[in-house]
């Protein structure tokens, strides 16, 4: 799991996962809150984002030392254990009712860490800051000169640090889920770390990345992973529907789709990508 995960998660979640099918485990308020946000986003994304993804994540071990494509039967078995709706919560007691079930907050933990860091800075009286947690960016206030912060978006086809666009915003969180973040190659094929709960395999739907721009980095982190798994059509629809949530979708044909609230605050860099639209997705005003 990610190095950004806080200590509470290392211990409490491991204990919870070990106790699956045996007994409930008492979680701290912080863990419970992140878990519950994860469950809410699970409902919003209709299970595309699922905090109980651990059995599949462990099986694929994309970040392990010698990752391999698992056997189809093993994938089926792991898949059968995944269903966030089965998680039982009573107060701070959490129970995973089936042996082998497990929680993985890898898709949401970085957002939590970024949000906590911003909260601590604000509490300490800091009025202007930009925090970059490796692709997950949180800003506090405006720039010191009063202008909004300008946040660069990673070009999913280029090495880390190459930007394809800029978002301008204040007091905002900008979280990206992309195929380039963690993956391995087998027989010339890329296997990345964002798992499609419906197939049990890395999500394969023409998207290269989804960026979510929102107030709450925890929600933004879960939604970026969830919208990525949902795909362009459904993912876009969901982000468009939610208040105070915007998104940037990039597909493997170099097309960029912006939700409507972002169109005034986004600028493309370079000429590799085109702002696109199809039916009710994206903005084609520039082409008219």
- DSSP for 168-233 reads EESS-EEEEEETTSSEEEETTEEEES-B-TTTSSB--SSEEEEEEEES-HHHHHHHHHHHHHH-HH
> Is residue 197 part of the contact set for ligand AMP (CB under 6 A)?
yes
Q: Which residues in the 55-84 window bind ligand AMP by CB under 6 A? A: 57
Binding residues for Mg ion restricted to 148-177, rule: CB under 5 A: 177
* Residue whose CB is less far from Mg ion, 20 or 245: 245
**With CB cut-offs between 5 and 8 Å by kind, which of Mg ion, ligand AMP, none does residue 181 bind?**
ligand AMP
Instruction: Please give the distance of CA 202 from its chain centroid, rounded to a whole number.
Output: 14
Site string for ligand AMP, 123-152 (x = CB under 6 A): ------------------------------
Q: Is 99 left (phi over 0), alpha (psi -120 to 50) or beta?
A: beta
Among candidate residues 217, 226, 184, 2, the one with its CA nearest the CA of residue 105 = 2
- Residue choice 139, 211, 225, 276 for contact with ligand AMP (CB under 6 A): 225
Q: Which residue has the tokens 């699970």?
A: 42
Q: Which one of 139, 224, 259, 276 is in contact with Mg ion (CB under 5 A)?
A: 224
Binding segment for ligand AMP (CB under 6 A), chosen from 14-22, 103-111, 254-262, 265-273, is 103-111
Binder of ligand AMP out of 70, 102, 106, 247 (CB under 6 A): 106
Q: Whole-angstrom Cα distance, residue 206 to residue 43? A: 24
Task: Check binding of 225 to Mg ion (CB under 5 A).
Answer: yes
Reduced to 3 states (helix: H, G, I; strand: E, B; else coil), residue 261 is: helix
| Shortest distance, position 144 Cβ to Mg ion, whole Å | 30
Contact call for residue 13 and ligand AMP (CB under 6 A):
no
C-alpha span between 74 and 70 (Å, rounded) = 7
How many residues are listed for the chain in this entry? 288
User: Is residue 274 classed as helix, strand or coil in its secondary structure?
Assistant: strand
Q: Is 37 in the site for Mg ion (CB under 5 A)?
A: no
- Does 104 participate in binding Mg ion (rule CB under 5 A)? no
Between 139 and 225, CB nearer to Mg ion: 225
Total Cβ atoms within 10 A of residue 151: 22
Tell which one of 221, 246, 251, 283 touches Mg ion (CB under 5 A).
Answer: 221
Q: Pick between residue 33 and residue 253 the one whose CB is nearest to Mg ion.
A: 33
Give min distance, CB of 31 to ligand AMP, in A: 16
Helix (H) or strand (E) holding 113: helix 109-123
Two tokens at 93? 């007691």
For ligand AMP, the binding residues (CB under 6 A) are 49-50, 53, 57, 104, 106-107, 177, 181, 193-195, 197, 221, 224-225, 229
């Amino acid at each position: 799991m990610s190095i950004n995960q806080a200590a509470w998660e290392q211990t409490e979640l491991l204990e919870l996962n070990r106790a699956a099918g045996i007994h409930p485990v008492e979680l701290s308020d912080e863990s419970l809150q992140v878990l519950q946000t994860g469950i809410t986003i699970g409902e919003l994304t209709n299970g595309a984002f699922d905090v109980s993804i651990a059995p599949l994540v462990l099986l694929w071990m994309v970040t392990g030392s010698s990752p391999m494509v698992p056997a189809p039967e093993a994938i089926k078995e792991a898949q059968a254990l995944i269903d966030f709706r089965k998680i039982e919560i009573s107060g701070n007691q959490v129970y995973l009712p089936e042996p082998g079930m497990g929680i993985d907050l890898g898709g949401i933990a970085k957002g939590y860490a970024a949000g906590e860091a911003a909260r601590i800075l604000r509490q300490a009286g800091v009025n202007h800051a930009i925090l970059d947690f490796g692709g997950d960016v949180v800003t506090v206030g405006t720039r010191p000169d009063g202008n909004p912060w300008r946040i660069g978006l990673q070009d999913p086809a280029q090495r880390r640090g190459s930007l394809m666009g800029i978002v301008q915003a204040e007091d905002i969180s900008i979280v990206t889920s992309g195929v380039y973040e963690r993956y391995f190659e087998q027989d010339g094929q890329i296997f990345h770390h964002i798992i499609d709960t419906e197939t049990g395999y890395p999500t394969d739907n023409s998207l290269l990345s989804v960026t979510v721009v929102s107030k709450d980095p925890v929600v933004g982190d879960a939604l970026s992973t969830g919208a990525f798994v949902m795909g362009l059509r459904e993912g876009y629809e969901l982000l468009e529907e939610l208040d105070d949530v915007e998104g940037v979708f990039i597909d493997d044909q170099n097309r960029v789709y912006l939700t409507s609230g972002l169109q005034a605050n986004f600028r493309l860099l370079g000429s590799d990508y085109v702002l696109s639209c199809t039916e009710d997705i994206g903005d084609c005003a520039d082409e008219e």
